[in-house]
Structure 1
Amino acid sequence: MSIVDPEWQTPINDGRKLPPEVPVAVTLNGEGFAVFMATPRDLEDFAVGFAISESIVSGIKDVQSIALHEHGEEGISVNLEIDDEQFFTAVKRKRLLTGTSGCGLCGLDSIRAALRALTPLSPQPAPKTESISAMFEAMQSKQTLNDIYGGGLHAAAVCCGENILAVREDIGRHNAMDKALGAGARSGEPVDLVITTSRCSSDLVQKAVSARVGTLAVMATPSDLAVKLARENCLNLFSCNRGYSFTRYS
């Protein structure tokens, strides 16, 4: 189910609407886990991608059911039913505060949990920069929400070989990536590349590694910690430097 509730759309003087942003709660087995400010679209994908990229579950096979609930002006919640053992492990590193649309680590109750242990990937061949460039161009043509609202949204895409499996958009860069990862997982197809219009901090690298994606390509220069984690965990990391040139960091 994909929704953009008209109640959340704000008209402006020239007739266009601003990108919607609403509170979205991810619950596990009926218990509150994290609250985000996000664009109310593709929220089932978002919850699944978040659970995978945060190592709550290892893949879509661990998600027993997904249920979306609207709560009027209070926001929207998405519940994932998962195994009890995975649930109790997740509760130990539960996020206690609201995450903003631009924040990927807000509210973790332990600084140590911000750099959780990762299982390194098996080294994968890096795609050619020409292929990555083509994927970026193809993604831009599929950014339907960005066209509707005239900008203001990040986009992320998951790819298999030369094909884009899904493009997802959100006002938050972490949310967009989680939505794309969730869509890829739910498609049942293997994902070997994720691209995003955002800059790259360490948490996006952690998400890619946790989702077992071999290559991450971003729009801007990554942080030093992002590069360090990518190298330690055998993730191919590229920046397209705002479309002007490509740099491979790991």
Structure 2
Amino acid sequence: MITESNFEQSESSSKMAMMAETTETRVIMTEISEDNDNSAAETMLARKHLAQKHHYPSDKAHGADIPQSCIESQTTSLAVEAAVSIVINGIHYAVLMASPYQLEYLAVGFLFSEGLIQHSHELLDWEVTHLTDIASYQKFAQSLNDGDLEFASIEQRLEQFQDYDIYIVELVLNQRCHQRIQAQKRQLAGRTGCGMCGITGLTQALPDLSHYSQANIHGSKATVPSLEYLLVLRQQVDATQHTHQLTGAVHAAATIYNQQLYLFEDVGRHNALDKLIGWQLRQKVEVDCVLMTSRLSIELVQKSIRGRIPWLVGMSAPTSTAVRVAQRYGLGLAGFLRDNRVTYYTGI
């Protein structure tokens, strides 16, 4: 059953209680400054670039049937998209195209979503390396016993990689996780918009998530987030998503915990959710509701079920498969959070 709620209807609704008090909510941001300066400042997530803006000065033609376009040179901000290589116990596991920030949370959330770890303490150590020159690449290759270490070859590879930002996230997991790593090693790089790239088997792509069913975890339905609560959450996300305001090219996953807004941005929507899940694991917290600034596809639903998130809400619509899987495993799903309305698809 699909239920749509608008602002007028929600005022008289007694079933949709507020999940949390939001009047004193504080915003937690650790990368972009609070002054919301749109001057295209360089950050780890945004970078200046010279561009040409082609536009019509007005809707009316100046003495002609066809309006004359105007060309302006300007500096704009572009979202940084980096290749993030995940290396686990010396094994190259996957390459993600992601925003190079909060990479510890990204890696932990990704491994949890893959089913490789169950708890944060299974991660024994981690290190992030930014490959910027021959020396850093050679050091990394030697640490992995790469047999092709000729200087000319390294120079050739750097020439090949010069257009890319490359980060290496090296993780050390306990021995119990090692067999899982070998069994589920991905074969392909994951594109920015792809949460399942490299998965070659249907069982791996479409896993049984009964162990993570909300009914098994909570024993009863989670409280339905009210429209008022969700509109306040969206308003705070809109005001806080500074990298998106600069670039127009990143997604966010956000939640409120202890009256504080926690927001994680990335060029990939699944990466943003992995960062939030990784933060959950590292901080040992549970959240009631996560807002995504994107559509709700199946991989986001699977990640939310594994992450024991009671409610997943999107600014856009879910897919039909996402709704069916959410219904099966008890995940609350809502979408089209916009224009003073929201549509509930499951969980009511």
Q: Same fold (TM over 0.5)?
A: yes
1:176 to 272, 277, 285: 272
Find the counterpart in structure 1 of residue 322 from structure 2.
226
Find the counterpart in structure 1 of residue 224 from structure 2.
126
1:39 to 86, 89, 99: 99
Report the CA distance shift for 1:52/1:15 in structure 2 as closer, same or farther (over 3 A): same
Structure with greater contact order relative to length (CA < 8 Å, sep ≥ 6): 2
Query: 2:224 and 2:182 mapped to 1: Cα distance?
Result: 36
Aligned AA (1:22): A
C-alpha contact (below 8 Å) 2:230/2:337 kept by paired residues: no
Report the CA distance shift for 1:133/1:185 in structure 2 as closer, same or farther (over 3 A): farther
Matched, 1:101 2:192: yes
Q: Following superposition of structure 1 onto structure 2, how do residues 87-98 of structure 1 map, counting pairs within 5 Å?
A: 87-98=178-189
Query: 2:96 and 2:177 mapped to 1: Cα distance?
Result: 21
Post-superposition shift, 1:242? 4.2
Query: 1:192 and 1:27 mapped to 2: Cα distance?
Result: 32
Q: Provide the secondary structure at the position in 2 that maps to 1:240.
A: strand
Deviation per CA, 1:26-80, whole angstroms, max 9, x where unpaired?
2212211110111111111111111122222123232222211111256101122
Q: Over the residues paired in the alignment, what is the CA RMSD in angstroms?
A: 2.2
Matched, 1:137 2:197: no
Aligned AA (1:226): A
C-alpha contact (below 8 Å) 1:26/1:78 kept by paired residues: yes
Q: What is the aligned-residue identity percentage?
A: 30
1:207 to 275, 300, 303: 303
Q: Following superposition of structure 1 onto structure 2, how do residues 70-89 of structure 1 map, counting pairs within 5 Å?
A: 70-72=130-132, 73=162, 75-89=166-180
Q: Following superposition of structure 1 onto structure 2, how do residues 107-122 of structure 1 map, counting pairs within 5 Å?
A: 107-118=198-209, 119=211, 120-121=213-214, 122=218
C-alpha contact (below 8 Å) 1:160/1:193 kept by paired residues: no
Report the CA distance shift for 1:241/1:128 in structure 2 as closer, same or farther (over 3 A): closer
Report the CA distance shift for 1:140/1:184 in structure 2 as closer, same or farther (over 3 A): farther
C-alpha contact (below 8 Å) 2:231/2:337 kept by paired residues: no
Post-superposition shift, 1:153? 0.8
1:11 to 42, 49, 63: 49
Query: 2:177 and 2:184 mapped to 1: Cα distance?
Result: 11
Report the CA distance shift for 1:18/1:161 in structure 2 as closer, same or farther (over 3 A): same
2:252 to 148, 152, 155: 155
Query: 1:139 and 1:191 mapped to 2: Cα distance?
Result: 16
Q: Provide the secondary structure at the position in 2 that maps to 1:157.
A: strand
Unmatched segments (≥5 aa) in structure 2: 1-29, 32-41, 52-73, 133-161
Max radius of gyration: which structure?
Answer: 2
C-alpha contact (below 8 Å) 1:36/1:101 kept by paired residues: yes
C-alpha contact (below 8 Å) 2:337/2:343 kept by paired residues: yes
Q: Provide the secondary structure at the position in 1 that maps to 2:334.
A: strand
2:281 to 185, 198, 201: 185
Deviation per CA, 1:108-130, whole angstroms, max 9, x where unpaired?
02122111121212332222222
Report the CA distance shift for 1:99/1:231 in structure 2 as closer, same or farther (over 3 A): same
Report the CA distance shift for 1:242/1:32 in structure 2 as closer, same or farther (over 3 A): farther
Unmatched segments (≥5 aa) in structure 1: none
C-alpha contact (below 8 Å) 1:101/1:171 kept by paired residues: yes
Post-superposition shift, 1:220? 1.3
C-alpha contact (below 8 Å) 2:85/2:92 kept by paired residues: yes
C-alpha contact (below 8 Å) 2:227/2:341 kept by paired residues: no
Q: Tell me the TM-score normalised to structure 1 length.
A: 0.90
Deviation per CA, 1:194-241, whole angstroms, max 9, x where unpaired?
111010111101000111111111111111111111111111111134
Find the counterpart in structure 1 of residue 342 from structure 2.
246
Report the CA distance shift for 1:106/1:242 in structure 2 as closer, same or farther (over 3 A): farther
